[in-house]
Amino acid sequence: MRRAWIVILGVAAALSLAACAPAGDEREIRVAAAASLQGAFDEIVAAFEEAHPGVRVAPVVYDGSSTLATQIAEGAPIDVAAFADERTMERIADQVDEPRIFATNSLVIAVPEGTDRVATLDDLADDPLDVVACAPEVPCGAATQEALDAAGVDLVAASLEQNVTAVARKVATGVADAGIVYRTDAAATAGIAAVEDPRLDEVVNRYPIAAVAAAGDDARAFVDYVLAGDAQEELAQWGFGAP
């Protein structure tokens, strides 16, 4: 009887381990993407997995492109990188395939819904306003500074954030009176109203994507998918411009 119980317990343990183990045929790819891509890429990843049975995308790592580039340069296990500007992708040029442009984006002024204190870029220089922006080393920050310089606006930001999502969040929650964000983030964030200024349209970020050179065919299939029709339609729905 004791031996029978040992056998039963051993079988139960084996079944438990089998249930927890990943399917043997399932392959995984790891994607790092700019924070501004999160809404669109969550949908694109789900559609890609449906179109490619047996391939799973690990939870996407979303952050400022500069932060992601540093992590990849230091050996983070990433198969595909999707950034918010070409300059940041150039930092890891020796580690990735030839980058391909898959989307574009531009800037707007973000204010909390229901406020009318800001009408143009010039208003952001008013002392009573707490304005947040992306740090200059990340793509949204570099684009912001380029636009401000061209407009001759001297902005002293209350804080500089490492990704555009943090800027949008501070505006939406009323921590800041205004911020400069991508138009896609303004459209996707509840509690934000977008203020257009034609001078912001002069700065357009081109988004590159590339498989890490050491990655396999599944990573390159994901890159191809992002550049194809269904993914391009999804990006357009989130407000991104065509490549």
- pLDDT tens profile 1-44: 444 433 333 433 433 333 333 455 789 999 999 999 999 999 99
Q: How far apart are CA 227 and CA 209, in angstroms?
A: 9
- Per-residue tokens: 109: 């002024």
Domain ranges of the chain: 25-104+206-237, 105-204
Domains 25-104+206-237 and 105-204 share a fold: yes
- Per-residue tokens: 207: 């988004």
Question: Alpha-carbon torsion 136, 138, 143, 146, what sign?
Answer: positive
DSSP code for 116: -
- pLDDT tens profile 131-158: 999 999 999 999 999 999 999 999 999 9
Using a 10 angstrom Cβ sphere, with 0-12 exposed, 13-18 middle and 19 or more buried, the burial of residue 187 is middle
The CATH classification number of 105-204 equals: 3.40.190.10
- Per-residue tokens: 174: 């009323």
Q: Are strands 27-29 and 55-57 parallel, antiparallel or unpaired?
A: parallel
CATH number of this structure's domain 25-104+206-237, picked from the four choices 3.40.50.300, 3.40.50.11740, 3.40.50.1820, 3.40.190.10: 3.40.190.10
DSSP code for 3: H
- Could you list the mean pLDDT of each consecutive 10-residue stretch along the chain, which spans 243 residues? 38 37 74 97 98 97 96 97 97 98 97 94 88 95 96 94 95 96 95 96 97 97 97 97 94
